[in-house]
A = this chain, B = another copy of it.
Amino acid sequence: MSKPRDPQTLARMCADAMLAEDKAASGLGIEVIDVGPGRSRTAMTVTESMVNGHNICHGGFIFLLADTAFAYACNTYGQREVAQHCAVTFVAPGKLGMRLTADCTERQRSGRSGIYDVSVSDETGNVIAEFRGHSRTLPDKLIPEA
Q: Which residues of B contact A23 (CB under 8 A)?
A: 48-49, 51-52
> With an 8 A cutoff between CB atoms, is A122 at the interface?
no
Contact call B86/A85, Cβ cutoff below 8 A: no
Query: Considering only CB atoms and an 8 Å cut-off, how many residues of chain A contact the other chain?
Result: 45
Write out the residue numbers on chain B whose beta carbons fall within 8 Å of the beta carbon of A68.
58, 60
A27 to B48, CA, bound (A): 10
Task: Name the distance in Å between A47's Cβ and chain B's nearest Cβ.
Answer: 10
Selected from B20, B52, B63, B127, the residue in CB contact (under 8 A) with A64 is: B63
Cβ contact within 8 Å between A20 and B53: yes
Known A20-B53, A107-B119; further 14 A-B contacts with Cβ < 8 A = A21-B52, A21-B54, A24-B49, A24-B58, A24-B61, A58-B64, A82-B90, A85-B85, A85-B88, A85-B90, A87-B88, A87-B132, A89-B115, A92-B110
Binding site for B on A (CB under 8 A): 18, 20-25, 27, 48-54, 58-61, 63-64, 67-68, 82-92, 107-108, 110, 113, 115, 117, 119, 127, 130, 132, 134
